[in-house]
A = this chain, B = another copy of it.
């Protein structure tokens, strides 16, 4: 049975979609319409008790949380497509370190920016709080200053080899431009961040995610 990916193309679902393409894993995208409450049905809650997307059903094995799903796919298909998780003790530790940085230092700030610029005014009918927007953007800039220093010495966050932690940044790095009203990922004062982001977002996997997103938004 082909792997089922449940969800519409939110940031977290795009993250999983990208890794499935990187690892050449056949899958079926099963839409879950949040506006119709399809994430709150008893059938869906039996798979994902928090009512969030995505979750997967891999021949009966059900799993949720996007980063955990990506980790599972990259582990199960380690020898298919690029090797995305280093196994060496210290390299793996640095991979875990940057995975935490992505979650806590990058995405939390990026979510804050996109929330003020887009989710609040467009989705939730609330006013943008400019002070909060500026605070989140300032903190995000400080995070990217650290990235710039690291990426001036090596190609990717963990070293000179691509890992999943680089790719996991893509959904919110893209949304900052598309929905967050900021060109922070293209700021030439951080040339190595620009190089890194442009290389990642030029990958066939990510271009296919964006094509799918454009198709759904038509």
Contacts and interface: CB of A to CB of B under 8 A. Distances in A.
B97 A63 contact: yes
Interface string A5-21: 00000000000000000
A38 interface: no
Number of copies: 2
Contacts of A89: 72, 75-76
A97 B68 contact: yes
A96 B76 contact: no
Contact of A96 (B68, B100, B101): B68
Given A65-B101, A146-B50, A71 B90 contact: no
14 contacts: A49-B146, A49-B149, A50-B101, A61-B93, A63-B97, A65-B101, A67-B96, A68-B93, A68-B96, A71-B93, A71-B96, A72-B92, A72-B96, A103-B103
For chain A, what secondary structure do more than half of its interface residues adopt (helix, strand, loop), or is it mixed?
A: helix
Q: How many A residues touch the partner, as a band? A: 20 to 34
Contacts of A68: 93, 96-97, 99-100
Contacts of A146: 49-50
A67 B103 CA distance: 12
A105 interface: yes
Contacts of A66: 100
The 6 A-B pairs of least Cβ separation, nearest first, read A65-B100, A68-B96, A72-B93, A68-B97, A49-B146, A65-B97
